[in-house]
Amino acid sequence: LAFSEEECVKISVTSCDACIKSGPGCVWCQDVNFTKPGELDTVRCDTRSALLKRGCPEVKLINPPSSMQFIKNKPLSDGQAKKDLVQVQPQEITLDLRPGKPYSFDLKFKRAQGYPVDLYYLMDLSYSMNDDLKNVKTLGIELLNRLKQITGSARIGFGSFVDKTLLPFTDTNEEKLKKPCPPEESECEPAFGYKHVLSLTDNGEQFKNMVSQQRISGNLDAPEGSLDAIMQVVTCEIGWGNSTRLLVLATDDGFHMAGDGKLAGILEPNQESCQLDKKNMYSKSNLWDYPSVGQIARKLEEKNIQPIFAVTEKVADVYRELSKLIPKSDVGVLSGDSSNVVNLIVDAYNKLSSNIIVTHDTLPEHVSVTYTTCQGQSSSDRGICNNVNIGQEVKFTVTVKASKCIDLKTFTIGPLGFNEKLTVKVRTRCQCECDNIRNNASEHCNRQGSVVCGTCSCNPQFLGQRCECSVGHKDEAALKAQCRKDNGTECEGRGDCECGVCKCHLTEGGSSYYGPHCECDDEHCEKYQNKLCGERNKLTKYKY
C-alpha cells in the first residue's frame, strides 16, 4: 500500500510510535495542551499541515526523518599501490529509514587505470575442436601479453571439458571410453567431464607447456557439458584475485542443461559446489544433473565473473540468447580454427569493462532498491552506464525504501564484475524521540503518571487519558470487559475503553459514534436532497 507525503491513514492510533508507523505522511503533536477536554489523543496523529492548522506549534511536531551516516567514505583513486585502489564511493553507510519513505543517495564509480585481469580459458576438447586446440597451444603467450598491455597486470589459467561419460552423451563401450576419437587419431584423451589444468598464473611459458600436454577427446551427441564445467570453475578455488575476472568458454556446439541428466538416469540436481578429485577431475559428473541457466547466472554474479562465449558461427545465436540471461556476458564468433581468439577476447574485455551495471545482493525482507542510470534516466532494479572510459567518473542515484519496521540488516551494492562494493546497513525509525522529561507524578496526569510525547503514561493501577481512573479492586481485564457488548470487540472497534467506559471515535463524515459501546451512528440514515431524513423527521439511531 502506497501513501503520499501528505496523507495519513490511521486507525485507533493513541501513541506517537503507533502514529509514525501508520505511514510516511503521519506526524504526531506532542504538545500537552493540544487536545481539548474530552477529545481523544487520536487527533494528535495527522499530516503536518493538518496539525499546524489545528494549532500545534512547529517545535512540537514529531516527524522522524530518514537519514544517512557515512561509515567509510574514501575518495575515488587509482592508487599508487593495489591496496590503495578505490573505484566505488562511499564504501560503507548506515541508513535510518522512516518506513514507507524512500531515501536517495549518490554512488560514484571510476574505472581505475591498470586494474588487473584474471582470465580462465575453458576449452571444449570434443574431437571437432582439434584444430582449435593446436592454435590455442601457441596463442597463450600472445593473449597474456596483449592483456598486460591493456591493464599492466594479467594472469591466465586453463581448464577443459567434454561431457558426462554415460549414454546417450558418450559411447560407454570400454574401448570407446578409453579412446573416444576416430581410429586415425593417434593421440586421444579418455572420455571425461571437466578437468582443471592450470590455476591462474602470470607465467606465459607455464601456460604454453601445460596446454601443450592436452589431447583431444570425444563424445556422442552434439550438445556438450559446458554448464557442468562452468559451475566447477566458478565454485572451485582456482586462484581468482582482486581483479576483473573473465571466463572464456571456447566451443563449437550447444550445451546440456538441467533436466537433460534424466536421459542418463541422473535425478539428483546440481548442488552448486566444487567437486574436484585429487586429479582435478569433476568427480560428480555422472552423479549430478547439469546446472540450470539460472544457477549459472546467479553463481557468476555472486563471484563477479564475466563470461565470454567464444563460439563458432553455427551456434552463435544460441549463445547470444544465453548471454541475454547472464548479466555482464558477451559473445564472440571464433574462426574455424580459433586463430582470431586473442582479438576476440580483447574486444570482449573492452566492451564488458566499459559497460557498467550496478546492482545489489539479496535484500532484507521489506527493503527495496532502485537506481537511476548515470544519464539520469528512469529508475529500475539495476543502474546501467555504457561506454565508460578508464579514469571516467560516473554517478548513480540509489533509492532505498523499507516498507515496514525492521531490525538492523546489511546488504551490498556494487558494479558487476568488480570486487569493490558498498556495504549498506539499514534500520528503521519506528520510535519517537520526544522532549518530555519523565516525571512519575506529573500534574498533567493527576500525579499518577508521566507525560510521554504529550500523553500520559500511567502508573500501575491507574488508567485513563489523564490517569484519572483508579483500577482499585478491579483488574484491567474486568474494566475492559465492561466495554464489550455480548463478548464482542472492545467498543465495537469504534472507540477506546477508558475506566470501563467507551469513548467513541469520530466517523468518516466527522460526526461521532455513540451509544454505550459506540454501536450507533447517524450517517447510515436515508438522505433526501442530501439531508438526513430530509430534516422532516427525528433521526432514529442506526445500530450495527
Residue 4 has pLDDT above 70, yes or no: no
pLDDT, position 200: 97
pLDDT, position 537: 53
pLDDT, position 1: 44
Residue 543 has pLDDT above 90, yes or no: no
CA atoms within 13 A on the CB side of 519: 12
Residue 5 has pLDDT above 80, yes or no: no
pTM above 0.85, yes or no: no
Of 379 and 268, more confident = 268
20-24, 462-466, 506-510: which is most confident: 20-24
Radius of gyration of the chain from Cα atoms? 35
Question: How much is the mean pLDDT over the chain?
Answer: 89
pLDDT-above-70 percentage for the chain: 93
pLDDT digits (tens, 9 = 90+) for 217-241: 988 888 999 999 999 999 999 999 9
141 vs 385: CA distance, rounded Å = 33
514 vs 521: CA distance, rounded Å = 6
> What's the mean pLDDT in 166-191?
89
The region of weakest confidence among 59-68, 140-149, 407-416 is 140-149
Contact 285, 227 (CB under 8 A): no
Strand order in the sheet with 27-29: 45-46, 27-29, 61-62
DSSP H helical segments within 56-213, as ranges? 130-151, 174-178, 204-212
pLDDT digits (tens, 9 = 90+) for 117-166: 999 999 999 988 988 888 888 888 899 999 998 888 899 999 999 999 99
> What's the mean pLDDT in 91-103?
96
pLDDT, position 433: 87
314 vs 333: CA distance, rounded Å = 9
443 vs 404: CA distance, rounded Å = 37
Beta-carbon contacts of residue 36 (< 8 Å; ≥ 6 apart):
none
Structural domains of the chain sorted by starting position, each given as residue range(s) with its CATH number in brackets: 1-64 (3.30.1680.10), 67-113+356-428 (2.60.40.1510), 117-354 (3.40.50.410), 436-470 (2.10.25.10), 481-544 (2.10.25.10)
Q: How does DSSP classify residue 64?
A: P
